[in-house]
Amino acid sequence: MPEGHVTHAEKQGVHVLRYFDEVNFMLAPGIQRFVDHLIDVGSISGMVFDLTCAKALDSTNLGLMARINERLLKVGAANSVIISGNEDIDVVLRSMGFDQTFDMFPSDEPSAGAPRVSVAPYASAEPIETDSPSATDLRKTMLEAHRALIRLSEAGRLEFETVVQCLERDPIDRSSDSSRSATD
């Protein structure tokens, strides 16, 4: 199975996150930290999620995209753009309501009025650091991402409400439980 990763490039305040291969929940905390920093320092006017090289994204990364777009809109940035050429991913995005809240464009045909994203930033694209997250960071990112999916659409609420409930009541970090022994 190929290892997924995400790269970043920027041009004139528009940031491009390009997803490669199979991007899973283990990468999400690093991506979230990276984008949160960009938003916090105010150096972002727009975001493009380039999924043309992605083979799969899990629900945590989809929710992270939704959360990022929410944060950007709150700080006055432009609506985020998704560029995709994978029909399987596109079906999931549409079923979850991403086409209602993001500007979505296929990679093979630019639409009238579609923002022109030069491939030039990709020449200087840098991988986003996604070190192994702690269980606490992973749980927090997963919870925030799935809450964003619930807010995104009714389909998201129906699909992920129980996931959020489980994450809220059953923390992933069980290190505090390790002090308990079989005698408890």
In a domain, 183, yes or no: no
> What is the per-residue pLDDT for 109?
53
Give the pLDDT of residue 129. Answer: 87
- Treating both helix axes as pointing N-terminal to C-terminal, what angle do 59-74 and 28-40 enclose, rounded to 10 degrees? 10
Is residue 184 one of the residues assigned to a domain? no
Tell whether 117 is covered by a domain. yes
Q: Exposed, middle or buried by CB within 10 Å (0-12, 13-18, 19+), for 83?
A: buried
The domain that holds 93 is classified in CATH as 3.30.750.24
The per-residue pLDDT for 174 is 47
Q: What pLDDT is recorded for position 108?
A: 66
Which pLDDT score, from 0 to 100, does residue 63 have?
A: 98
Residue 135 lies in a domain: yes
Q: Chain-wide mean pLDDT for the chain?
A: 86
CB 49 within 8 A of CB 83: yes
Work out how many domains the chain is built from and give that number.
1
Beta bridge partners of 20: 5, 53
Q: Does the predicted TM-score (pTM) go above 0.75?
A: yes
What share of the chain has pLDDT > 70, as a percent? 82
> How much is the pLDDT for 137?
94
Residue 157 lies in a domain: yes
Domain assignment present for residue 48? The answer is yes
Residue 107 is predicted with a pLDDT of 80
How far is residue 156's CA from residue 101's CA, in Å, rounded to a whole number? 13
pLDDT the model gives residue 172: 53
> Token pair for residue 137?
């960071």
Q: What is the C-alpha to C-alpha distance for residues 10 and 125, in angstroms, rounded to an integer?
A: 8
> For the chain, what's the residue count?
184
Domain that residue 151 falls in: 5-178
Residue-by-residue pLDDT tens, the chain, 184 positions:
348 999 999 999 999 999 999 999 999 999 999 999 999 998 899 999 999 999 999 999 999 999 999 999 999 999 999 999 899 999 999 999 999 999 999 886 554 454 544 444 455 789 998 888 999 999 999 999 999 999 999 999 999 999 999 999 865 544 444 333 333 3
What pLDDT shows up at residue 125? 83
Task: Please enumerate in sequence order all residues whose Cβ is within 8 A of that of 96, keeping only pairs 6 or more positions apart, or say none.
Answer: 62, 149, 152, 153, 155, 156, 159
Residue-level pLDDT at 87: 93
